Amino acid sequence: MLRRPGCRWRAAAVATAIGCTAATQARAESFFQIEAGIGATSATKLGDGMYYSRGFSHDTPNGSYGGRIGIVMNAIDARPRSFMPGLRLHLDYYNFGKVKWSSTNPQDAADFDGTGTTGGYNATTQTCNDDNCGAMRRFDSTGGIQAIALTLEPFWDLGSSWQFGVEIGPALYRSTWTSVATALSDGRFGPIGTQETLMHSPHMQLGALAGASISRGPFSVRLNYLYAPVGSSTAKNVPSGIKGDWMLSANYTY
């Protein structure tokens, strides 16, 4: 039996449409994906009087560069233009880069306890108590944070391939911090030029990560914040100079 040319064209169009639909569904229903990105970071300082003194000379930039990579688990698809969100799970590694500081610091006020005199840095007035700064030292510090975070991300399909999401979850983070303190005059810390190295012992600690994202297709922009409490410290294990980090990243999912 002969088939008219129009029938062949219709059959080919139907086959093409089915193939495109299947490919689209395969992408939408992919449960595991990889996401990677690079971005700018901004560290949250522990505070005035910790490795720098605002009332004295200091150069303490908090900006750096970092990156993230991880697995995305697409648990629930979002309906287009619906108030009901979809749901993703993220297991991501973050590297927030490093900061480098240089500062000139007086002694701590606690150094004068029990001495019968008053002195040391006062963070409220940003000067020394009774104009007694004690022995001045220069601090050269460097440190950074890395983390692994497991987060839940509800997200909404805004239409035209645009999506918006928010995420939050626990994080295990590891901080590094080293400060080299150099005596600027003879005194309590030894002769001028005497150096003391203060270190934070790196170990895994529990924190939290939160963020928001806007995406279109495989491309996304994410703003994340890592809450990284410093925890306890000792004279041999000083706290890190930063207690959190922001990251604004451009990412690709494949």
Q: Which residues pair with 200 in a beta bridge?
A: 177
For residue 85, the domain's CATH number is 2.40.160.20
Beta-strand pair 86-105/242-253 = unpaired
What amino acid occupies position 172?
A: L
97 and 6, same structural domain? no
102-141: per-residue pLDDT in tens? 999 999 999 999 999 999 999 999 999 999 999 999 999 9
Alpha-carbon distance values, 63 to 38, 55, 97, 143 (Å)? 14, 21, 9, 12
| Total count of residues recorded for the chain | 254
168 and 93, same structural domain? yes
- Range of the structural domain that residue 11 is part of: 1-27
Distance in angstroms (rounded) separating the CA atoms of residues 181 and 82: 58
Please name the residues in contact with 3: beta carbons below 8 A apart, sequence gap of 6 or more.
Answer: none
Please name the residues in contact with 165: beta carbons below 8 A apart, sequence gap of 6 or more.
Answer: 85, 88, 153, 154, 155, 156, 212, 213, 215
pLDDT category, 26, cuts 50, 70, 90?
A: very low
**Three-state SS at 204:** strand
What amino acid occupies position 157?
A: D
215 and 152, same structural domain? yes
pLDDT category, 25, cuts 50, 70, 90?
A: very low
Domain count, the chain: 2
